[in-house]
Amino acid sequence: MKKVTVWILSLVLMTFFGFSHATASTARQEVDAVVIASFGTSYPEALKAILAIDKEMRKEFPEAEIKHAFTSNIIRGIWRKRADDTAWKKANPDTPAWLYEVKGPLSTFGELQEEGKKRVVVQTTHIYAGEEYLDLKAYVDAVAGIETLRAKWKPFSYMTLGRPALGKAGLHPEYHEDIEDAAKTLAGDVAKAKKMDAVLVYMGHGNDIFPTSAYAEFQKAMNKMYPEVTTIVGNVEGYPGLEEVEAALTHMKVTKVFMKPFMVVAGDHARNDMAGDEDDAWKRIFEKMGIKVTCELKGLGENPAWAKLYAKHAVDAVTVHTGK
């Protein structure tokens, strides 16, 4: 009887995992194009993060066309000017050619329609489901919702949007699971802080007109998962902010801090607001508190494990949308 029970259990497990693998594999075949939608960056050295996400997305969708869209008008304008700057291009020969013509989401969708791509997944590189994510979602929902009298003239068979790194409101999956998955990718940062005997401080972007409690919950998840090192998260905008970080450091009588941007790319905020030499930079403020500060200018996207989160969320989005 025991042998029969074990055999049945093994069969069930094999069937379950085999089905899960087949489902994800089928979902990948249901995609003609993937749009990686980022705020963008003008710093060539910060592009490593976006290119790392690109690499992971190509692994998940080897047959699909991969395109990038920058939501920032200013960033796109900077790259347009560089396209005609021979000296700049000569000094930065490794810059991907697509950057000089990078478009916004709507223009990218139009380009895909012209190319005849009918099944599209858009993957945001946002950290949490805040203002910019909802703006992008509005674009996707509007285009996906276009109906024509004849189905064959619909711009896209389907267009779906992958959730941010820290998830979004909903039951499947719950955002708590995404927060835990995100925390699991950052063991390397914890190890570096532990080696320095320092508190790990992340500077996020946040938002001052939208709830940012996901950052506080992420901090809680980090401290529960890695109790050997204290993690503090603060934002440039919104709660928790610099004031909360300063209060925590003072209360704990911290003497050493290892600080990183809690942003996909280590761009302007990381290089100026976090690690800059101006008096209002977080590094300078903490140093004036008598704290030794070590900054690492690496965006989250440069971490392959974090980059994989977005690729996984893209697969999930297709699986849910198509039911395959």
pLDDT tens, residue by residue, 264-273: 999 999 999 9
Residue ranges of the chain with pLDDT lower than 50?
1-22
pLDDT single digits (tens) 250-303: 999 999 999 999 999 999 999 999 999 999 999 999 999 999 999 999 999 999
pTM, 2 dp: 0.90
- pLDDT of 174 reads 86
301 contacts: CB under 8 Å, gap ≥ 6: 48, 49, 50, 52, 53, 125, 264, 265, 307
- pLDDT of 219 reads 98
- pLDDT of 235 reads 96
- pLDDT of 267 reads 92
- pLDDT of 131 reads 92
Report residue 86 as tokens: 């021979």
Q: Measure the CA–CA gap between 102 and 83, rounded to whole angstroms.
A: 11
Distances (CA, A) of 153 to 116, 140, 147, 149: 11, 18, 9, 8
CATH number, domain 2-178+304-322, options 3.40.50.1400, 3.40.50.920, 3.40.50.620, 3.30.70.580? 3.40.50.1400
CATH number, domain 186-298, options 3.40.1390.30, 3.10.20.90, 3.40.50.1400, 3.40.640.10? 3.40.50.1400
CATH topology match: 2-178+304-322 vs 186-298: yes
Q: Measure the CA–CA gap between 151 and 8, rounded to whole angstroms.
A: 46
Place of tokens 């001052």: 208
Give the residue from 250, 274, 174, 166 showing the smallest Cα distance to 215.
166
In the chain, domain spans: 2-178+304-322, 186-298
Q: Measure the CA–CA gap between 235 and 214, rounded to whole angstroms.
A: 11
- pLDDT of 227 reads 98
Residue 68 pairs in a beta bridge with 36
